[in-house]
Structure 1
Amino acid sequence: MNPTMRTAPTSRSRAVAGAVAFLALAVAFAAGCGSGTDDPAESAKPTGPARSAEPTSHPTQDHSISAEVGERFTLTFEENASTREHWYLADPKPDASVVRSQGQKSESDSGDEPVPGAGSGLTFTFEATGEGSTEIVLTHCTFAAPCDGSGTSSPEPSSTASASATPSRPERVTYTVTVS
């Protein structure tokens, strides 16, 4: 081949060059898009409530919780399904304009490998949504104080059941949350 001759670009090299040009144009366009305001301080403001990466863990023995709007916090309890010990978010639910439930997560005490009979830590996560005060009510159900899957006490035993077999009521634990 003659060193002074050039070959015409192939269709593949043209396609790659076109894709690179399109990508460069898209990046330049995105960089030029702002908040629609000429005030740099205004465009730097966050658009939603501030959320910390890691929720604050509150001790369960402290029944008074203070939080700031946008803050996420958790309450963690030990439970064991094999002994019928469970925790539930009960009624009345917290005022959603002050605190909103973000769900719950269970982690086995035995680590990655499930072990029959092992307990677990159940973590309830909440987010402070607005200023005010509300209550979070949790029900602690056990073998001796059973309840249904929503944390409501099981129906009273029939009158034919002996007095010694009467289960006790599940424990209700109330947390007062103040958001500022």
Structure 2
Amino acid sequence: MTGCGSGDDAPTSHPVDDTTVTASVGERFTLTVADNASTRSHWYLVDPKPDGAVVRERGRETASDDDAAPGSSTDVTFTFEATGAGSTEIVLLHCTFSSTCDTGEGTPAPAPTGGATPAEPERVTYKVTVE
């Protein structure tokens, strides 16, 4: 019974290209994306935030690999918990050096350099159903 919410089980992992998530109440699940701070590439959980009656964010963790080459990407994992039956969406925004992003957190996101026209940031929307 992996991921059924006992609190001791590892969260169910979903790849970034699997944008449909089905979970049971109490189940924790993760969304993992590649991030690269050295190239000013960052992922953010943005508005509209998921319905807290259905899903709650339980943290964000950046993997650290001391043996990784400088400038290589790292994984950023967002953890969520299914809190009640229903449907909601989780929106992640990928800001890069060539895009202008409004993260909704009052924190400046990377801005384009060199007079380049800002690119639209990538948005990934996950459809979450909790049964």
TM-score range for the pair, normalised by the shorter chain length: 0.7 to 0.9
Q: SS in structure 2 opposite 1:74?
A: strand
User: Which of 19, 23, 47 does residue 91 from structure 1 map onto?
Assistant: 47
Amino acid corresponding to residue 39 of structure 2 in structure 1: T
Amino acid corresponding to residue 124 of structure 1 in structure 2: F
Number of equivalent positions? 124
Equivalent in the alignment of 1:166: 117
Q: 1:151 to 1:143 in 2, by over 3 A?
A: farther
Matched, 1:177 2:128: yes
Equivalent in the alignment of 2:73: 119
Deviations 1:127-180 (A, max 9, x none): 0000000000000111111325649896x99xxx97xx2111211110010000
Give the unaligned 5+ runs of structure 2: none
Q: Any residues of structure 2 matched to 1:33-48 within 5 Å, and which?
A: none
Q: Percent identity?
A: 59
* Stretches of 4+ aligned residues off by more than 6 angstroms: 151-154
Equivalent in the alignment of 2:87: 133
**Larger RCO (CA within 8 A; separation ≥ 6):** 2
Q: Is the 8 A contact 1:89 1:138 kept in 2?
A: yes
State the shift of 1:56 in Å: 0.4
Equivalent in the alignment of 2:18: 62
Q: SS in structure 2 opposite 1:140?
A: strand
Higher helix share: 1
Q: SS in structure 2 opposite 1:82?
A: helix
Q: SS in structure 2 opposite 1:62?
A: coil
* Distance in 2 (alpha carbons) for counterparts of 1:60 and 1:116: 24
Amino acid corresponding to residue 100 of structure 2 in structure 1: P
**TM-score scaled to structure 2, two decimals?**
0.82
Q: CA RMSD in A?
A: 2.6
Higher strand share: 2
* Distance in 1 (alpha carbons) for counterparts of 2:55 and 2:78: 12
Matched, 1:75 2:28: no
- Structure number with greater Rg is 1
Q: SS in structure 1 opposite 2:61?
A: strand
